[in-house]
């Protein structure tokens, strides 16, 4: 019995050592320039500290308006918020793209073991679009027979699998979008596990095809390696990741851009029968063009005469597949 006790004790200390080793130093920063700082100080609260409002005070950085604190955090997803004080009732009220509708900010710490300096965020607001780690999610529900009056939502490890605090915006033609902006660096890989709901409660959630590349046990599981990536999903279907640097998508359809007319032309037309939609997204993931129900792409062109120069993504869907190509309008 004594031997078993010693073994249990050793295992306990090994577990504690592993947990301590796996934790990462994360520096939280908030800009209080628009606030009158409380005499009780500025604090951070969340799953990082058991939602304790007093355990992690932040310190002013010199004479600046930035307050910061370095905290050891376990890898994985966390929710947190800042307090201008040290009690509930003094918390900020941030929202998308950096927080869910409950005001909880998103944070992911990966398994690299690297210390992380978070981008300073304004109290109650989001960091600038050119900072942090931004990912745009688009979900295509055009094949659904009806759309819920409760809206389209996203649930995942980033928001504690809540079904009603992360609602997507209706773009057009059955496409819904949301931009998520994390305070981690732009080159800090982030793993998203999530799914969509045609509504705001369990029972309205999708069951993505298990044969899809980024589906594990009925959840979508995607690691995004660079900020600015766009993820195009199909409700109950598969995912395509569009990075800003390259689009590695097998595609039998060839597009040619004609600079003189600022338009694209389609080739390999024998592979393009029964097209259900042709959609064009800008680099921010916004749907800007939408053509429905094309029996063939023969003779089809898309004009960019009224659009600015830049990178665009052309999504072509038929009854059995979804392909995407990147073009540069100039």
pLDDT digits (tens, 9 = 90+) for 243-290: 644 333 344 566 778 888 999 887 655 555 567 788 898 866 778 998
* Chain centroid, CA 68 distance in Å: 25
Provide the pLDDT for residue 268: 56
The architecture (CATH level 2) of 24-122 comes to Sandwich (2.60)
Name the CATH topology of 254-329: Immunoglobulin-like (2.60.40)
Name the CATH topology of 133-239: Immunoglobulin-like (2.60.40)
Q: Do domains 133-239 and 254-329 have the same CATH topology?
A: yes
Provide the pLDDT for residue 270: 55
Q: What single-letter DSSP state applies at residue 18?
A: H
Provide the pLDDT for residue 330: 78
d(CA 67, CA 57): 9
Q: Using one digit for the tens of pLDDT, what is the confidence trace for 216-247?
A: 999 999 999 988 888 989 899 988 776 644 33
Q: Is the dihedral of CA 122, 125, 127, 130 positive or negative?
A: negative
Provide the pLDDT for residue 312: 85
Helix H or strand E segment including 57: strand 57-60
Q: Which two tokens stand for residue 158?
A: 């980033």
The residue ranges of the chain whose pLDDT is under 70 are 1-21, 242-254, 267-274, 283-284, 293, 295-298, 319-322
pTM summary value: 0.73
d(CA 92, CA 53): 13
Provide the pLDDT for residue 319: 63
d(CA 171, CA 165): 19
Domain ranges of the chain: 24-122, 133-239, 254-329
* Chain centroid, CA 59 distance in Å: 30
Provide the pLDDT for residue 21: 53
Which residues, in sequence order, are bridge partners of residue 179?
A: 136
């Amino acid at each position: 019995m004594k031997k078993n006790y010693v073994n249990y004790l050793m295992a306990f200390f090994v577990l504690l050592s592993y947990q301590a080793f796996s934790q990462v130093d994360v520096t939280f920063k908030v800009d209080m320039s628009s606030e009158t700082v409380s005499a009780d100080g500025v604090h951070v609260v969340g799953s990082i500290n058991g939602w304790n409002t007093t355990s992690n005070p932040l310190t002013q950085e010199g004479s600046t308006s930035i307050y910061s604190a370095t905290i050891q955090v376990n890898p994985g997803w966390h929710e947190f918020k800042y307090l201008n004080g040290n009690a509930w009732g003094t918390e900020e009220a941030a929202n998308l793209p950096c927080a869910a509708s409950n005001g909880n900010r998103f944070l992911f710490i990966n398994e690299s073991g690297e210390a992380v300096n978070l981008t300073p965020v304004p109290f109650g607001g989001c960091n600038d679009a050119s900072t942090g780690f931004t990912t745009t999610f688009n979900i295509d529900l055009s094949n659904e027979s009806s759309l819920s009056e409760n809206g389209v939502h996203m649930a995942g490890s980033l928001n504690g699998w809540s079904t009603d605090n992360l609602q997507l915006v209706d773009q057009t033609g059955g496409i819904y979008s949301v931009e998520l902006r994390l305070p981690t660096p732009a080159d800090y890989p982030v793993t998203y596990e999530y799914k969509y709901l045609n509504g705001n409660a369990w029972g309205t959630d999708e069951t993505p095809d298990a044969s899809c590349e980024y589906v594990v046990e009925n959840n979508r599981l995607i690691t995004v390696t660079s900020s600015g990536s766009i993820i195009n999903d199909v409700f109950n279907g598969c995912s395509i990741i569009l990075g800003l640097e390259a689009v590695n998508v097998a595609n039998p359809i060839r597009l040619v851009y004609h600079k003189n007319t600022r338009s694209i032309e389609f080739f390999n037309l024998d592979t393009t029968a029964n097209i259900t939609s042709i959609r064009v997204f800008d680099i921010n993931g916004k749907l800007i063009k939408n053509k429905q129900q094309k029996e063939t792409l023969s003779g089809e062109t898309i004009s960019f005469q009224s659009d600015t120069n830049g990178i665009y993504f052309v999504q072509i869907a038929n009854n059995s597949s979804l392909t995407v190509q990147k073009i540069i309008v100039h």
